[in-house]
């Protein structure tokens, strides 16, 4: 079978049918779908896919000759390499912050600053601006424990807090450089990074407002309870919420496990995004500083440091306790291991879909399609994202298709609007072939149905809100 659209349909049926109707564990359903998709994809198609990604002829041929099991395992391993350490260390940080009372201290400070009613807005805005320099999954993993503690404190609004965190981080990750997708898009379409940042922030604030209004409605219509889990037992969260303030760690110490990774990653992002002169009197010291930031700012290294600080915090707070620190984090690692397996299988499924050439087929189908460029950019990106799961791949694909059109001149508005339309289109539609979907689903302890019913529609609403705003802005504020 060489039609990627039919292969995609088969994959969708296996995943959705397996999880929702046959009640298979998500790991098994995703892995089964990955194997079936790989079996249906001819070797020649796999070779063409590898060549399109810049592989040499020999490397592309070798990939096409690998067995189905090897190709699935390779994509599974690549996904685990990207998120394995992140999730394990984030699980440790979250558990330590809950057990030590650090999360409770942060929540009490937020409530003191914003009040009960404005706490969800504080989460929304914080996650948006954190999502600009920090990877989406890192923001979600670090902030969900705070959402659990806040919910236990207030006794309600767990879904609202989770949607506020995920919605803010998701829009920033697709609209504002130096996030990887928007950064590539700006370069491909020859847009000023500064202009892209300003436009992305302004549009992002509008779209997350629409997403927040939906989240408030969804929270009232389908409230999701805070559930027990290995890494965040309800009795532990409740006991922390009842502690006297004098027994909790200080605010600055409570924030360190989160702030250290965020500061390191932000510094790394700045260093790798901005050029710096090679020749100067202080070039040696500058090079030493740059290399240091690059080492400590690597997301895996930064999360490991944050995890070590969280363990120190827990050890100090539990000094004299009969239980060792290892016993406290064992449940977190068990929970994190299950999440890694599911996300790895989701990455394998998405990788096998990409090897079918689905992105190239969509590009061919839309190349000569005469339509207004802004909605065209939006819908091309949305179809690619829905088909293969990766928002970044969708951004890259759509920008490659449309960059020639925007650079040829003759536009009646600034090409920034095309770039932002691609960013908004990359939000549609998150489902089981997206690793981010599984991070949210499993870290928050939502069911698959709850995630599809709440998180996915929120991103659709934010994406279409962005499209409408862009069409109006291009009409009345063309910026040329």
**Torsion, CA 332, CA 333, CA 338, CA 343, rounded to 10:** 100
State the number of CA atoms in the 13 A half-sphere of 445 facing the CB.
Answer: 17
Average pLDDT over residues 91-105: 82
Nearest to 139, CA basis, from 152, 124, 156: 124
Query: First vs last Cα of the chain: how many Å apart?
Result: 48
Q: How confident is the model at residue 83 (pLDDT cuts 50, 70, 90)?
A: confident
Average pLDDT over residues 147-175: 91
The domain ranges of the chain are 81-336
Whole-structure pTM value: 0.77
**Torsion, CA 337, CA 338, CA 339, CA 345, rounded to 10:** 110
Helix axes 358-366, 373-388, angle to 10 degrees: 160
Q: In angstroms, what CA-CA distances link 218 with 97, 367, 437? A: 29, 38, 18
pLDDT of 409 strictly over 60: no
Burial class of 127 by CB neighbour count within 10 A (0 to 12, 13 to 18, 19+): buried
Q: How confident is the model at residue 220 (pLDDT cuts 50, 70, 90)?
A: very high
Rounded to 5°, the CA angle 411-415-420 comes to: 135
Q: In angstroms, what CA-CA distances link 155 with 148, 208, 237, 455? A: 10, 24, 12, 21
Average pLDDT over residues 9-38: 86
The tokens for 317 are 């707070």
The tokens for 464 are 């279409």
Tokens 């802004």 correspond to: 374
Helix axes 136-154, 102-114, angle to 10 degrees: 80
The tokens for 418 are 């095309």
Confidence (pLDDT) at 454: 95
Confidence (pLDDT) at 370: 43
Average pLDDT over residues 432-449: 88
How far apart are the C-alpha atoms of 170 and 391, rounded to whole Å? 10
Lowest mean pLDDT segment, chosen from 1-10, 89-98, 241-250, 268-277? 268-277
pLDDT of 152 strictly over 70: yes
Tokens 């067995």 correspond to: 67
Q: How confident is the model at residue 366 (pLDDT cuts 50, 70, 90)?
A: low
How far apart are the C-alpha atoms of 281 and 91, rounded to whole Å? 44
Average pLDDT over residues 260-272: 82
How far apart are the C-alpha atoms of 307 and 206, rounded to whole Å? 35
215: CB partners within 8 A, 6+ apart: 120, 159, 160, 163, 164, 167, 454, 458
How far apart are the C-alpha atoms of 233 and 249, rounded to whole Å? 20
More confidently predicted of 133 and 60: 60
Confidence (pLDDT) at 265: 82
Q: How confident is the model at residue 95 (pLDDT cuts 50, 70, 90)?
A: confident
Nearest to 317, CA basis, from 97, 2, 100: 100
Lowest mean pLDDT segment, chosen from 306-315, 329-338, 365-374, 375-384? 365-374
47: CB partners within 8 A, 6+ apart: 60, 61, 63, 64
How far apart are the C-alpha atoms of 376 and 365, rounded to whole Å? 12
């Amino acid at each position: 079978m060489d039609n990627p659209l039919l292969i995609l349909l088969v994959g969708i049926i296996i995943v959705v049918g397996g999880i929702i109707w046959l009640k298979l564990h998500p790991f098994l359903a995703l892995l089964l779908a990955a194997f079936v998709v790989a079996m249906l994809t001819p070797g020649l198609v796999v070779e063409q896919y590898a060549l399109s990604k810049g592989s040499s002829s020999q490397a592309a041929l070798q990939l096409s000759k690998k067995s189905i099991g090897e190709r699935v395992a390779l994509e599974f391993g690549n996904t685990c390499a990207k998120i394995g350490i992140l999730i394990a260390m984030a699980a440790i940080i979250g558990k330590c912050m809950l057990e030590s009372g650090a999360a409770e201290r942060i929540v009490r400070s937020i409530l003191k600053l914003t009040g009960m009613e404005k706490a969800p807005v504080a989460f929304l805005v914080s996650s948006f601006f954190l999502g600009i320099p920090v990877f989406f999954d890192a923001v979600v993993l670090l902030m969900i424990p705070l959402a659990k503690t806040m919910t236990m404190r207030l006794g309600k609004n767990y879904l609202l807090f989770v949607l506020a965190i995920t919605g803010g981080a998701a829009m920033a990750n697709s609209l504002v450089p130096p996030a990887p997708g928007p950064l590539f898009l700006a370069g491909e379409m020859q847009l000023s990074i500064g202009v892209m940042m300003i436009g992305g922030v302004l549009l992002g604030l509008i779209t997350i407002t629409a997403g927040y209004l939906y989240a408030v409605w969804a929270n009232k219509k389908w409230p999701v309870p805070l559930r027990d889990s290995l890494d965040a037992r309800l009795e532990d969260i409740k006991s922390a919420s009842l502690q006297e303030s004098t027994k909790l760690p200080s605010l600055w110490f409570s924030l360190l496990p989160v702030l250290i990774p965020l500061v390191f990653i932000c510094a790394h992002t700045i260093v790798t995004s901005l050029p710096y002169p090679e020749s100067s009197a202080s070039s040696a010291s500058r090079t030493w500083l740059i290399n240091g930031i690059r080492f400590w700012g690597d997301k895996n290294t930064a999360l490991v440091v944050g995890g070590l600080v969280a363990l120190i915090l827990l050890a100090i707070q539990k000094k004299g306790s009969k239980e060792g620190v290892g016993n406290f984090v064992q449940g977190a690692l068990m929970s994190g291991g299950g999440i890694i397996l599911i996300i790895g299988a989701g990455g394998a499924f998405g990788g096998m879909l990409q090897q079918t050439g689905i992105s190239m087929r969509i590009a061919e189908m839309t190349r000569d399609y005469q339509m207004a460029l802004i909605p065209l950019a939006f819908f091309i990106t949305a179809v690619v994202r829905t088909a293969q799961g990766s928002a970044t791949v969708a951004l890259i694909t759509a920008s490659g298709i449309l960059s020639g059109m925007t650079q040829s001149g003759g536009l009646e508005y600034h090409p920034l609007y095309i770039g932002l339309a691609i960013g908004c289109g990359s939000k549609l539609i998150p489902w089981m072939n997206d690793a981010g979907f599984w991070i949210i689903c499993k870290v928050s302890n939502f069911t698959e149905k709850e995630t599809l019913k709440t998180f996915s529609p929120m991103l659709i609403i934010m994406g279409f809100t962005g499209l409408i705003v862009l069409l109006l802005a291009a009409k009345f504020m063309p910026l040329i």
